[in-house]
């Protein structure tokens, strides 16, 4: 591996993390605004959960999007999607009906797919051989967006009213301008994409070559979504249902997300030192326990402080597996970075859609507390899966050394 590839370009990687923050902060306006949208549009919990389906549905197009990205300028795609995502989300409180809301969410979902694939590729290129740290920087930007998103949008609603959150659009505009000029000077974009394209294998070939590995990564992502994504989307609604104010629910969501920032940032760095699968096993073992504890204390009167403690702990661990899974996939498909990124994005979006739609449906049938408990139970499937992957790859490494 050359020195250029080994080098960790902290400024460029940090800038990609900033772009991730500016993009995802808008998509995380939906959760804190969900109680308002439910009231204004007469939605039930199933309809609220299905909003995520329209957000995640474009992930099915990720293989085709990956091919488009290979032939395009990363820089321009990132700048354009920053603007499209922010504009569509800023209009959701103006939606006159549920289906117009879903259309805006669908546009945002398509834009998000086009953003994440080239953004992950550019981050990986500038991270050199430190893929775990690079993915941690990138994912930390997204987690910061989760934390600041509820605070920023609720402050905007309080200051300007729910119909004027369009005033937040300059966040994306300024970031797009910075990305456009910075990476133009560095020569990133179409030239690098064309160079990378020569090494790319067909999507179907990669899926078949790594089918068992990718299936494991899909299930690991699904187990993560049943805790992290469910809390991210339904925590404000759950807490307001339990009698807490919208502001308390928004602050609790931000606490969850700031804890997620710390977990996401540290997990990739720790995984580079202690091993990705070792880190993943520990995360998957402790996350369901913390989720069960949060639900239990939320149902006990007078246990608000302990409930908040377990919200923070659950946020720290449940979100921290994302950069580890992403780094595992990037390492496995290092010769096909664009295709690997499109597969990860497809897995991420599909698993979140499945978990949120199922949670909304279960909440309508039983209660949201019962749905949360079932989600924690579903997430337990990752424990034997991660242990099995560790044993398999350890035995493979020993066999390789003997040969």
The structure tokens 């790319």 sit at 200
Query: Measured in whole angstroms, how far is the alpha carbon of residue 260 from the centre of its chain?
Result: 11
182: which residues sit within 8 A by CB, 6+ positions away?
15
Task: Identify the pLDDT of residue 185.
Answer: 55
User: How far is Cα 389 from Cα 38, in angstroms, rounded to an integer?
Assistant: 42
pLDDT tens column, 342-393: 788 778 878 887 898 899 899 989 999 999 999 999 999 899 998 988 887 7
Residue 207 token pair: 């899926």
- The structure's pTM equals 0.70
Q: Check: CB of residue 361 under 8 Å from CB of residue 346.
A: no
Structural domains of the chain, with CATH: 8-402 (1.20.1250.20)
pLDDT tens column, 255-289: 998 898 889 888 888 887 888 889 999 999 999 99
pLDDT tens column, 145-202: 877 888 888 889 888 988 888 899 999 999 999 988 888 754 444 444 444 445 566 7
pLDDT tens column, 84-115: 999 999 999 888 899 999 999 999 989 988 99
């Amino acid at each position: 591996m050359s020195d250029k590839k080994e080098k960790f370009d902290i400024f460029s990687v940090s800038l990609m993390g900033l772009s991730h923050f500016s993009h995802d902060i808008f998509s995380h306006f939906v959760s804190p605004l969900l109680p308002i949208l439910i009231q204004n549009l007469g939605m039930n919990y199933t309809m609220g959960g299905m909003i995520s389906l329209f957000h995640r549905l474009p992930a099915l197009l990720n293989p085709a999007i990956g091919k488009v990205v290979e032939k395009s300028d990363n820089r321009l795609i990132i700048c354009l999607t920053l603007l499209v995502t922010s504009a569509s989300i800023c209009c959701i409180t103006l939606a006159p009906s549920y289906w117009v809301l879903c259309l805006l969410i669908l546009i945002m979902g398509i834009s998000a797919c086009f953003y994440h694939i080239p953004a992950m590729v550019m981050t990986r290129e500038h991270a050199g051989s430190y893929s775990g740290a690079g993915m941690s920087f990138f994912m930390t930007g997204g987690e910061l967006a989760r934390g600041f998103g509820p605070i920023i949008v609720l402050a905007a609603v309080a200051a300007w009213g729910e119909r004027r959150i369009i005033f937040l659009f300059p966040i994306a505009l300024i970031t797009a301008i910075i990305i456009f000029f910075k990476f133009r000077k560095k020569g990133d974009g179409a030239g690098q994409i064309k160079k990378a394209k020569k090494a790319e294998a067909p999507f179907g070939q990669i899926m078949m070559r790594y089918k068992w590995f990718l299936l494991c990564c899909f299930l690991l992502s699904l187990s993560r979504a049943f805790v992290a994504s469910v809390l991210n989307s339904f925590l404000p609604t759950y807490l307001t249902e339990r009698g807490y104010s919208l502001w308390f629910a928004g602050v609790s969501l931000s606490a969850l997300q700031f804890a997620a920032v710390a977990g996401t940032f540290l997990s990739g760095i720790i995984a580079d030192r202690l091993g990705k699968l070792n880190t993943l096993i520990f995360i998957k073992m402790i996350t369901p326990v913390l989720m069960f504890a949060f639900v239990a204390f939320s149902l006990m009167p007078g246990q608000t402080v302990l409930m908040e403690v377990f919200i923070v702990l659950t946020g720290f661990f449940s979100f921290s597996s994302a950069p580890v899974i992403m780094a595992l996939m990037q390492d496995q498909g290092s010769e096909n970075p664009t295709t690997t990124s499109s597969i990860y994005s497809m897995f991420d979006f599909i698993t979140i859609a499945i978990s949120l739609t199922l949670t909304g449906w279960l909440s309508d049938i039983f209660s949201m507390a019962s749905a949360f408990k079932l989600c924690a139970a579903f997430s337990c499937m990752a424990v034997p899966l991660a242990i099995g992957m560790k044993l398999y790859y350890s035995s493979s490494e020993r066999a390789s050394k003997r040969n």
